[in-house]
Amino acid sequence: MKFGARRTIVGGALILVLPFWISPAVGQSANPKNDQLKNVELCNGLDLESIERRIEGCTAVIQAVEGSARALPIAFNNRGNAYVANGEYDRAIQDFRQSINLDQTYTKPVNNLGVAYLRKGEYDAAVGAFDEAIRLKSDYGEAFVNRGEAFLKKKDYDRAARDFDEALRIAPALQAALNGRCWARAVLGALQGALDDCNKVLQSKPGSAAAYDSRALVHLKMGQFSAAIEDYNSALRLHPTLASAFYGRSYAKLKNGDNAGSDSDAAAAKEIDPEIADSFAHYLVQ
């Protein structure tokens, strides 16, 4: 499990609004206009269909509106988002780049390109894409959050915290920024500020495994091991395969004298993420 990935935001796809002037030759049914309307709805994710069906819908829209400067960038961006959700990052990158090439003022695919690189583990490329998204739209809160996540992955916690600060200046209720800043502040040792951030997230979103996991790290660094165990228990109820929660709980149990429970949790964490111990060493928890 990669820590930063759990909080990454994929920029929301725009709703396609297409004039239904598609030639009847596009479809094979008696009513190609209705077929294309269904494809637009699929591409937008309006019907909550499977990711595969969304990809099919976007592909059909792209094929039907080839040459439409207004529609194509949106369709490529939407399909790229579906590919990201499906873990097909190289295909997503191709679609986001195609969207950008078609409309260089359209900021969402620039941000989403960074998300795809972030999910691939190409952190420098991700930062570059987020830089460009912010250059194009200086108040792009989600891009600041995502760049902060990339800096977390690069272990540049000061720059991550600054990006989360800026995201919250733009959008004070942006929960991903609060949770990201909680994590960054915890690593940097600004523990009371970190605790305040996580508490704000959990007040409005009590079902956030990431926020419980982040707050538990704060408790660990405060030496409040029972409170950390309680938060890790909550995180694991919501996300049963969260490696960081298993490993953090292992540390807290060890400090509380539960050696057997500590060993069991550490083994579970390392099975999910063999590099988890190294990750926690960077968080100054050993």
pLDDT score recorded for residue 34: 58
pLDDT digits (tens, 9 = 90+) for 73-85: 888 998 999 999 8
Taking the C-alpha atoms of residue 235 and residue 241, their distance in angstroms, rounded to an integer, is 10
For residues 120-132, average pLDDT: 97
Q: What is the pLDDT of residue 99?
A: 93
Instruction: Tell whether 286 is covered by a domain.
Output: yes
Burial 202-236 (b: 16+ CB within 10 A, else e): beeeeebbbbbbbbbbbbbbeebbebbbbbbebbb
Strand runs (DSSP E) across the chain, as ranges?
none
Residue 71 tokens read as: 């529609």
pLDDT digits (tens, 9 = 90+) for 93-102: 999 999 999 9
For the segment 219-258, what is each residue's pLDDT rounded down to a tens digit?
Answer: 999 999 999 999 999 999 999 999 999 999 999 999 999 9
Look at residue 81 and tell me if it is in a domain.
no
Confidence of residue 7 (pLDDT cuts 50, 70, 90): very low
Q: Is the pLDDT of residue 181 over 90?
A: yes
Q: Give the position of tokens 């959700």.
A: 85
* Domain of 224, in residue numbers: 174-286
* Cα–chain center distance at 48: 19
The dihedral built from the CA positions of residue 252, 253, 256 and 259, taken in this order, carries a sign that is: negative
Residue 209: inside a domain: yes
Q: Report if residue 126 sits inside a domain.
A: no
- Look at residue 213 and tell me whether its pLDDT is greater than 90: yes
Percent of the chain with pLDDT strictly greater than 90: 67
The pLDDT, as a whole number, for residue 64 is 74
Q: Is residue 164 part of a domain?
A: no
Decide if 156 is inside a domain.
no
The per-residue pLDDT for range 137-153, each reduced to its tens digit, is 999 999 999 999 999 99
Asked whether 96 and 80 are in contact (CB, 8 A), the reply is: yes
Query: What's the CATH number where 200 sits?
Result: 1.25.40.10
The dihedrals phi and psi of 66, each to the nearest 5 degrees, come to -50, 125
Evaluate whether residue 214 is within a structural domain. Answer: yes
Amino acid 39: pLDDT: 75
Q: For the residues 37-47, what does the mean pLDDT come to?
A: 71
pLDDT attached to residue 1: 32
Q: What is the mean pLDDT of the chain?
A: 85
Task: State the pLDDT at residue 42.
Answer: 80
Q: Is the pLDDT of residue 108 over 70?
A: yes
Number of structural domains (the chain) is 1
pTM equals 0.80
Q: Report whether pLDDT(40) > 50.
A: yes
pLDDT for 11 beyond 70:
no
| Res. 37: pLDDT tops 90 | no
- Report if residue 128 sits inside a domain: no
